[in-house]
């Protein structure tokens, strides 16, 4: 492939300025066996989306449970980009340093990625050029105008157009970004406007007969769920339930512990508080008199989200906690309530709250007020719909990327 004069000048200058063969980002571990998807994240939101995307891809290809030979994600980030604290599908993380041919060669020789998904922009010319020369298929995802140029490249005017020719597919965030890419010479057959690439919501499995049985047993009672709760939060949650029940005496609470090792402590608290409760793992089925159900069995969150109209997401009320995933309730049409300590999932909560799909509370009193407001079916439904729209907004771009990756991986396996 012909190289532009500006790109050639950049490569020569970066080679001259290299201070170490690894560019300051020595490999974080050995390369895993099997296919390696290299995803470069320019933000925490992109990092979370890449982790979820790889998890879905592994599941679709039947490789989610395979050890050693399965599908792996190599997640790279630039300096200062926060790393996901819930890396479900993650195999390796590498922080990238200086961009020069020597560090690029060392990186590619070690990891030998099969496919690269580069998000947003902040293009690294030496690394991307070296990857393309090494035969790594490049896909630019969520291309954003403001991230495609760097101030230092103004005296090298055709670096960005030359780099864009290296990508096999370019997915633009918006029509405006696509127009900018066309002006830079990207041909129509490479370009597609897909929208924002972000972590989405995936519905959890559940038993429909059991859901129907529970709905019949509860006879139209208003139901709220306290999900992924730590025992240290339980007293505040029960206090809020007591306050809200004064306005809606048939209000029913489902409590799902975050850590099942704390189950006995949950039972003790419910007994000491004289709560009329049933324990799910003991076969308990609520009656009209039951106030609380302790949902202490794994793998049934899909059932609880489908029964409740409001979900308070735990691990969030006390300092030092990091929150729990709001994508789960959003995928099931549930209004989202959460505490102030959600650092692990802050970008997601901001998206939902900004759209009116989530509401923050700070203590038992504000949680009780939120419950009193959302018990009205029209209010909780409006909020749940707003959350669902946010959760599904990125479905098209994710599905398109999955299709591209499936085809590329098939070509690698059978080509």
Q: Which of 88, 94, 77, 9 is CA-nearest to residue 43?
A: 77
Distances (CA, A) of 199 to 52, 56, 125: 7, 11, 27
DSSP state of 291: -
Q: If 0-12 CB within 10 Å is exposed, 13-18 middle and 19+ buried, where does residue 9 land?
A: middle
Mean pLDDT over residues 49-58, rounded? 88
Mean pLDDT over residues 108-113, rounded? 94
Say yes or no to pLDDT of 23 above 60: no
Please indicate whether the domains covering 5-13+34-200+394-414 and 208-392 agree at the CATH topology level: yes
Report the pLDDT value the prediction gives residue 66, as an integer from 0 to 100.
47
Say yes or no to pLDDT of 67 above 60: no
Q: Model confidence over 222-246: pLDDT tens digits? A: 999 999 999 999 999 999 999 999 9
Q: If 0-12 CB within 10 Å is exposed, 13-18 middle and 19+ buried, where does residue 318 land?
A: middle
Cα separation, 74 vs 111, whole angstroms: 8
Cα separation, 127 vs 59, whole angstroms: 30
Two structure tokens written together for 60: 């679709």
Average pLDDT, the chain: 88
Q: Looking at the domain covering 208-392, what would its CATH class be?
A: alpha beta
CB atoms within 10 A of CB 122: 17
Contact 46, 119 (CB under 8 A): yes
CB atoms within 10 A of CB 191: 19
Angle in degrees, CA 266, 247, 328, rounded to 5 = 50
Report the pLDDT value the prediction gives residue 64, as an integer from 0 to 100.
47
Say yes or no to pLDDT of 301 above 50: yes
DSSP state of 249: T
CATH of the domain spanning 5-13+34-200+394-414, picked from 3.40.50.300, 3.40.50.11720, 3.40.50.720, 3.40.640.10:
3.40.50.11720
Return the H-helix or E-strand segment holding 141: strand 138-143
Say yes or no to pLDDT of 6 above 70: no
Distances (CA, A) of 193 to 116, 198, 353: 19, 15, 26
pTM, full prediction = 0.75
Q: Model confidence over 246-300: pLDDT tens digits? A: 999 999 999 999 999 999 999 999 999 999 999 999 998 999 999 999 999 999 9
Judged by average pLDDT, the poorest of 24-38, 224-238, 306-320 is 24-38
pLDDT band at 390 (very low <50, low <70, confident <90, very high): confident
Report the pLDDT value the prediction gives residue 172, as an integer from 0 to 100.
93
Cα separation, 28 vs 98, whole angstroms: 16
pLDDT band at 1 (very low <50, low <70, confident <90, very high): very low
Mean pLDDT over residues 177-193, rounded? 92
Helices (H), 336-393: 346-354, 364-374, 377-392
Q: Where are the domains of the chain?
A: 5-13+34-200+394-414, 208-392
């Amino acid at each position: 492939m012909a190289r532009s004069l500006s790109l050639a000048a950049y490569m020569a200058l970066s080679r001259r300025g290299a201070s170490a063969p690894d560019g300051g980002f020595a490999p974080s571990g050995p390369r895993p066996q099997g296919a390696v998807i290299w995803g470069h994240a320019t933000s925490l939101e992109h990092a979370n989306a890449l982790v979820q995307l790889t998890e879905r891809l592994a599941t679709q290809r039947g490789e989610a449970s395979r050890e050693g030979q399965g599908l792996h994600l190599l997640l790279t980030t630039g300096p200062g980009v926060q790393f996901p604290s819930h890396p479900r599908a993650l195999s390796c993380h590498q922080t990238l340093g200086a961009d020069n041919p020597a560090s690029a060669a060392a990186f590619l020789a070690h990891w030998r990625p099969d496919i690269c998904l580069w998000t947003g922009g902040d293009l690294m010319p030496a690394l991307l050029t070296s990857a393309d020369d090494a035969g790594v298929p490049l896909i630019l995802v969520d291309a954003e105008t403001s991230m495609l140029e760097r101030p230092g490249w103004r005296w090298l005017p055709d670096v960005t157009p030359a780099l864009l020719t290296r990508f096999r597919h370019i997915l633009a965030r918006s029509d405006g970004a696509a127009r900018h890419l066309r002006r830079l010479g990207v041909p129509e057959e490479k370009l597609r406007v897909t929208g924002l690439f972000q972590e989405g919501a995936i519905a959890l499995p559940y038993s429909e007969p059991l859901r129907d049985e529970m709905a019949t047993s509860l006879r139209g009672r208003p139901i709220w769920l306290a999900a992924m709760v730590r025992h240290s939060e339980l007293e505040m949650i029960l206090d809020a339930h007591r306050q809200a029940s004064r306005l809606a005496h048939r209000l029913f609470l489902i409590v799902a512990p975050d850590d099942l090792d704390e189950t006995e402590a949950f039972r003790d608290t419910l007994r000491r508080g004289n709560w009329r409760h049933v324990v799910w793992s003991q076969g308990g089925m609520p009656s009209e008199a039951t106030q609380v159900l302790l949902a202490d069995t794994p793998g049934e969150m899909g059932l609880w989200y489908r029964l409740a109209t409001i979900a308070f997401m735990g691990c969030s009320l006390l300092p030092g906690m990091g929150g729990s995933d709001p994508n789960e309730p959003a995928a099931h049409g549930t209004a989202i309530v959460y505490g102030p300590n959600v650092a692990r999932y802050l970008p997601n909560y901001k998206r939902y709250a900004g759209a009116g799909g989530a509401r923050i509370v700070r203590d038992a009193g504000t949680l009780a007020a939120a419950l009193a407001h959302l018990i009205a079916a029209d209010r909780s439904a409006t909020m749940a719909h707003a959350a669902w729209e946010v959760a599904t907004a990125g479905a098209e771009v994710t599905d398109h990327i999955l299709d591209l990756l499936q085809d590329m991986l098939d070509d690698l396996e059978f080509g």
